[in-house]
Amino acid sequence: MPQQQRSEETRARLLQAALACFSQAGYDATGVAEICAHAGASKGAFYHHFPSKQAVFIELLNAWLDALDAQFNAVRAQAAPVPEMLRQMARAARGVFADASRPGFTGQAGQLPLFLEFWTQATRDPLIWEKTVAPYQRYEAYFAGLVRAGIAEGSLRAVDPAAAARMIIAVAVGLLLQGLANPSNGDWGEPAEKGIEMLLHGLEKP
């Protein structure tokens, strides 16, 4: 195997191992040594690819957000009316979130406990805070723009776009947490789609 390819495989294995360790034991309780042991890689290999445990953490967050962005961009490319795009985005996010909603203590390493970990870490670490708040603000601007477009095209009532954007994100995040709290409720998708319908009932022009 060429060295370049081997190096990329090691990097991917380290990321996968970090995700598993963070999700199961938590960010605080996980050391670089555990990640290396889980990945079957040396500390030298780790520090070749990442400056710190925190860098791995932030890279995992970005990878997760990239997957979400790709789904949203695919929906937006269709240029449908805004209420229809919001419905499709809820459906698209379903796939991204479904994989992520398995709790760690069952032995499966879901990404959602990690998502929660981001927020708890963010409240304690200014650098993670910045990396967590930056994408959040990006989504706020993104949905505010979408709502503004909906008002302009006449499909949405003349609500405050920033407040509506916050509501959309709050509903998404809140329902994610509910799925985490109570997996027996079923997956995120069905309540999310019902939720978006209820919210749209308040936003759409009759």
Interface residues toward its own copies, by CB under 8 A = 24-26, 28-29, 103-105, 110, 112-113, 116-117, 119-120, 122-126, 129, 132-133, 136-137, 159-160, 163-164, 166-167, 169-175, 177-178, 180-182, 185, 191, 194-195, 198-203
Q: How far is the CB of 162 from its own copies (least distance, A)?
A: 9
- The residue among 44 and 105 lying less far from its own copies, judged by its C-beta, is 105
Bridge partners (DSSP) of residue 204 are 156
Closest approach, Cβ 7 to its own copies, in A, equals 33
C-beta of 44: minimal distance to its own copies in Å?
A: 28
Residue 23 CB, nearest approach to its own copies (Å)? 8
- In the bound state with its own copies, the residue whose beta carbon lies nearer, of 52 and 108, is 108
